[in-house]
Amino acid sequence: MTEPVESETPEETQKEEEELSAVDKASKLVAEMKAENDRFEKFLDRQEELKTNMMLSGKAEAGNQEPSEEQKATESAKNLIKGSGFEDELFK
């Protein structure tokens, strides 16, 4: 006679399902991460393109320039003689 084939116990079946579901979950997570990485890469490409366009148009540093030493000295001198009536005559 042939021996009866041992059927899997419910515990073994549950372990296989858990392993399979863990693999499925991991696969889903990998797919989601890949999609997010692709989306972020597109974002970085767009950001790089915008920065390049700003640099080429000359607007990248607009409004961020500090006054030169000469401009600082002129403003300081204007503040010293402010209210004396001479500031309009001296700084034309």
* Separation in Å, CA 62 to CA 14, 46, 49, 55, 66: 65, 21, 18, 10, 11
Across the range 32-38, mean pLDDT stands at: 95
E runs forming strands in the chain: none
Per residue in 40-89, pLDDT (tens digit) is 999 999 999 998 888 888 765 656 677 788 888 888 888 888 877 777 77
**Is residue 90's pLDDT more than 90?**
no
Range with the largest mean pLDDT of 22-26, 31-35, 61-65: 31-35
Neighbour-count burial for 51-62, b at 16+ CB within 10 Å, e otherwise: eeeeeeeeeeee
Give the pLDDT score at 6.
56
d(CA 87, CA 73): 14
